[in-house]
Structure formats: structure tokens, C-alpha cells
Amino acid sequence: MKTIKYGVVVICFLLSITFSSNVEAQCSMCTLNAENSVQHGNHQGKNLNKGILYLLAMPYLAVGLIGFIWYKKYRKKDILVDVKDGKLID
């Protein structure tokens, strides 16, 4: 059963990579304004797409950091296993 689940996940991942298209992280109006400003000599709009992707990544990084701190705080550190000497099964 595990191999079937693993296979389905791998196939879905490969299909999503194969049939994906290039996208921009901004609306068409922002793209048009940025391209026009760069053509007219304004260099401030050059990295607009990178800035939008940066802003998009911040919530995911914050949630990941909170999850990592939660994992570190609540994982079990000292587990005492008390096994007596001798046979376990008679």
C-alpha cells in the first residue's frame, strides 16, 4: 500500500512539472507599467517581479519558522526504556 501511495505522489509530481507553464507573479497592468517604465529609462521597475516573489515567500517562511520552533519545543527528548534482564517470551 505504501508503494502505491508513493508511486501516485511521484507520478503527480512528474505530471505537474511536465505540464507546467511559465508564469509571472504580477498582474498584467503591473507588468505593462513596469515594462513601459524600463523602456523609458526608469530602472526602478526592473526587479519588480523579484520583489513580488519575495513578498509572496515571507508568509511561508514565517509559518515554517513557527513550525520548526514548535517541533523543537514539544518533541520528546528523554525517553526512558526500562527492560528487565531475562527472557521476554516464556
Nine-digit cell string for 83: 527492560
Asked if residue 17 has pLDDT above 80, the reply is: yes
The rounded distance, in Å, linking the Cα atoms of 55 and 10 is 30
Is 25 in a helix, a strand, or coil? coil
How many structural domains is the chain composed of?
1
This prediction's pTM: 0.41
Asked if residue 36 has pLDDT above 90, the reply is: no
What tens digit of pLDDT does each residue of 47-85 get?
777 777 888 889 999 999 999 999 888 876 666 667 677
| Residue span of the structural domain in which 58 resides | 47-74
Q: What is the mean pLDDT of residues 33-59?
A: 77
In a domain, 40, yes or no: no
In a domain, 52, yes or no: yes
The whole-number pLDDT of residue 64 equals 95
Q: Tell me which residue has cell 501516485.
A: 8
52 neighbors 25 (Cβ within 8 angstroms): yes
